Structure 1
Amino acid sequence: MRALRWLRLRGRLRRITLLVLDVDGVLTDGGLWFDADGRLTKRFDVRDGLGIRLLQQAGLEIAFLSGGQGGASESRARQLGVRHCLVGIRDKPTALGKLQQALNVTTAETAFVGDDLNDLAVRAQVGLLLAPADACRPVRWQADAVLNRPGGQGAIRELAERILQAREGWGTLASNGWRDRND
């Protein structure tokens, strides 16, 4: 059933020019880690990082949109060359609308990956609402598709491969490999 759903979405995946990602629960497993000094740290998956880099190489604009605080999220965005890292955002629909306007991107050209109830607020502003496998039930029910991988464990890499397959750009990469750093 899931495979059929993804096949039906190929045309919409091809149209995506802006991929917006929640951070906690999508790029991370949702856990909050604190070091010995009480500083918050987060764990990011290197496979997701490569997926983001592959999508950037294919011409997609990537943005992080999170209600959580910056720090680690901003560092990860800088490391990956993600130019739009919006953190500490309470009103995700307004922030997303401003980003779409600034980039001159339509609803149909925008995909959003979210995992929790606060992410549903952007539903009407995106052409595709996607969820990691471990998203909360209401998000999985309302999502256009659910990824097989959980947040922080390769979900975004899986999505990157699906987008590149829809654009017929995955075969060359899968055959020849990636020659740059794997962040």
Structure 2
Amino acid sequence: MGSLSGLGLRSLLQRQLLTPRLRQIRLLVCDVDGVLTDGGLHYDEDGRVLKRFDVRDGLAVRMLQRAGITVALLSGGRGGAIEQRALHLDIEHCRVGVGDKQQGLEQLRADLGLDRDHTAFLGDDLNDLAVRPVVGLLVAPADAARGLRRQADWVLRRRGGAGALRECAEALLASQGQLAELHRHGWREGNS
């Protein structure tokens, strides 16, 4: 099994507490703005929103998918960029314009036949706290809102839009014994 050291888990005690929970995860649901992006909104001259995504987070999605972990996007935002990124990464479950994230996540879990303990959520702001009762693991980027960081099971070292998903993915893969092989032989499939 790969080591979790150096993957943003702050102490031996935290690794010991989180590793069994990470091993159970079969569904990682991500908010988008502030998690997969830096949270900034850039508008072009036609009023369309442009978003910047981290390519390393994209490869993280591919690694998780190959390991049998479903990645889903659940966002209150709209605008097309989210859907395009999901399409590019073959993310089948992309739900945008979600007003009630808890209800949206419960429905997604029901659709996939997964329970709370097999579900992790990566979010960055107070509206993401609503999913707390329906996930086994609540994860926050380093720059998440203070109220969310206080209640998160795990606060990452990386910021949203700057590798937070990659850090989370590597810890999940390490806990499930699948990261060491990637570190030994690299990634041989297409870039993301």
Aligned to 1:62: 71
> Is 1:48 paired with 2:57?
yes
Q: For residues 76 and 115 of structure 1, what CA distance do their matches in structure 2 show?
A: 19
Are positions 1:168 and 2:168 aligned together? Answer: no
Paired residues for 1:1-183 under 5 Å: 2-4=10-12, 5-183=14-192
Q: Could you tell me which amino acid in structure 2 is paired with residue 165 of structure 1?
A: A
CA distance in 1, matches of 2:15, 2:124: 18
Structure 2: which 5+ residue stretches go unaligned?
1-8
Alpha-carbon distance, 1:8 to partner? 1.7
Deviation string 1:76-119 (CA, Å, 9 cap, x unpaired) is 00000000100011111111111111100000000000100000
Aligned-residue RMSD, C-alpha? 1.0
Q: TM-score w.r.t. structure 2 length?
A: 0.93
Alpha-carbon displacement from aligned partner over 1:126-170 (angstroms, at most 9, x marks no partner): 000000000010100000010110000000001111001101111
Q: How many correspondences in the alignment?
A: 183
Deviates more, 1:34-43 or 1:54-63: 34-43
Shift of 1:7: 3.3
CA contact (8 A) 2:30 2:122 kept: yes
Q: Secondary structure at the match of 2:11?
A: helix
Code of the residue aligned with 1:69 in structure 2: it is R
Contact 1:70 / 1:88 at 8 angstroms: preserved in 2? no
TM-superposed CA distance for 1:38, in Å, is 1.9
> 2: distance between equivalents of 1:7 and 1:43?
34
- In 2, are the aligned partners of 1:2 and 1:145 still within 8 Å (CA)? no
Distance 2:49 2:59 in 1: 24
Give, as a single letter, the amino acid of the residue that structure 2 aligns with 1:3: S
Identity of aligned residues (%): 57
